[in-house]
Amino acid sequence: MITKRIIPCLDIRDGRVVKGINFSNLQIIDDPVSLAHFYNENGADELVFYDITASFEQRALFSEVLMRTAQEIFIPLTVGGNIRTLEDFDHVLKCGADKVSINTGAICNPAFIESAAKKYGSQCVVLSMDVKRVDGHFHVFQKGGREDTGLDALDWAAYGADHGAGELVVNSIDTDGVKNGFDLELLSKVCNRVRIPVIASGGAGVMEHFAQLFQKIPGVDAGLAASIFHRREVDIQLLKVFLLERGIEMRIDNGTAAST
């Protein structure tokens, strides 16, 4: 059967990874290609590159980074950020993305999900949603989690799945950055509602949180995190061994360099 997946997410601005990664010799590395290599060797099952640049010039730089990464990394690469149109979608695929993550672009134009799925296949379309509790209900937020759309998160997840999204990234704004564990209540509800792969995001602080996630919500397919991996608070290779020892199926790979 398929394994659960561990996915580091890299925010990229001006062709560099935001904040970079602190290595033990105090050197900060922020070159996306180097970091993609690092994660590839460290057992990541997939990578997410998130483009947080705004200007046109910077986007060209992002494209160049993407192309170099896709040529050197032999695990799946999902790309998100500023994907509003089929042209944007097409562009990042041509630069080497395997999957494209859409968020605000889908909220502004829900038909975008279906048109992208028809053109490129569901396996390419990742619907990413930022969710926050409002008066006891889960609402979808947009613009980086600043603005309440009023959309019910579970309805939106179901809409996406019904209209061709191949995967769902569920990021809980309530648990994000708190490092107190994933939002199990939200994830459980989403998993009961859709039958496409669900990627949990927001809240992981320690290895045990991933174990809780996969043990308590068997419907979750992957755990995504950023800073805890970047700051080396959690090492992916060690995390996967930890999970495997707890009966959670994991791919243990010694990296490309070791075995070819």
- Least separation in angstroms between CB 146 and another protein: 31
Distance CA 257, CA 90 (A): 32
Q: Choose between 126 and 151: whose C-beta lies nearer to another protein.
A: 126
Q: Choose between 28 and 60: whose C-beta lies nearer to another protein.
A: 60
Residues 6+ apart with CB under 8 A from 244: 250, 252
Residues that bind another protein (CB under 8 A): 1-3, 5, 40, 45, 67, 70-76, 93-98, 120-124, 166-167, 195-197, 221-222, 251, 253-256, 258-260
**Residue whose token pair is 């032999």:** 74
Distances in Å between the Cα of 42 and the Cα atoms of 39, 114, 170, 229 are 5, 35, 24, 10
Active site residues: 11, 130
- Least separation in angstroms between CB 165 and another protein: 11
- Least separation in angstroms between CB 63 and another protein: 12
Q: Which two tokens stand for residue 147?
A: 């603005």
Query: Is the C-alpha dihedral spanning 252, 44, 183, 111 positive or negative?
Result: negative
- Least separation in angstroms between CB 189 and another protein: 17
User: What residue spans of the chain are helical by DSSP H?
Assistant: 32-41, 56-72, 86-94, 104-108, 111-120, 153-162, 184-193, 207-216, 227-230, 236-245, 256-259
Which 3 state secondary structure label does DSSP give 125?
Answer: strand
